Amino acid sequence: MVRSDACATASGQTLRSLVLGPSEVQSCSKFVDAVITSQFTVATAGAVGAAFEDVDCLDELSEITLLYLRSSADIQLRLYAVPASTQAVSGTFPTAFAGAETLIVVLDGVTTTTTFLIADQTAAQCAARINAAFALAGIATPRATVVSGQLRIDGIATGVDGTLGVITITGTGAATLGLDSGSSPTSVDAQGQDIAVNGLYLSEFPNTGSQAPTKAQVSGSATVDVVAGGRS
């Protein structure tokens, strides 16, 4: 049972109750401030684990502290389904690019080279040029965005698999953009952790001492029931 806790209720939080098993079972009761219930059908291409899709209903939670799944067939559950990302911290704008400066990005195993023009002076103009190079390489865009005035590049792959889920950056324009190692950009590799599920999966994640998952994906062909609790 997932239900309101008297201490938490007294602190002014709005809480939800949810029964996962027989209602007379009280010893496993927990409180959460949001509960999601949903049923969906998944049908990804190829073998189980070859392609993944988001469990969209979980986007309503900022942290998942309890997750119950019941699948009608074999599926792969990917927790912590977050792609690699790199956030510049000291890019210089206007760039003073004279033209022909480069940014070489290896994103999920695909290498792209962006060649900047003299007109690429603002962060937004540089992001547009980088996205054009990604699109030319067949990578879904936008991958480059501007966050707090600095460039950010996000990968696509969410699982850790060799060169997948990793971003590496070089090039003559990387330092100006704040994306080379000397500029100490904030970099995070993909974090996905895969679990084989056939039937019932139930897990509780600690909300103190370690970070609870924020996203999940699934792979395979099945009907899936979801019950999740956490922070909204």
Residue 91 shares a structural domain with residue 179: yes
CATH of the domain at 40: 2.60.120
What pLDDT shows up at residue 227? 93
pLDDT digits (tens, 9 = 90+) for 18-69: 555 544 444 455 567 788 999 999 999 999 999 999 999 999 998 999 999 9
pLDDT digits (tens, 9 = 90+) for 94-122: 999 999 999 999 999 999 999 999 999 99
Residue 167 shares a structural domain with residue 218: no
Parent domain of 64: 6-81+192-231
Does residue 149 sit within a domain?
Answer: yes
Mean residue pLDDT across the chain: 88
Alpha-carbon span 153 to 144, nearest angstrom: 4
Q: Please, which contacts does 209-213 make with residues 24 or more away whose CB atoms are closer than 8 Å? A: 211/63, 212/63, 212/64, 212/65, 213/63, 213/64, 213/67, 213/79, 213/80, 213/81
Alpha-carbon 121 to chain mean position: 30
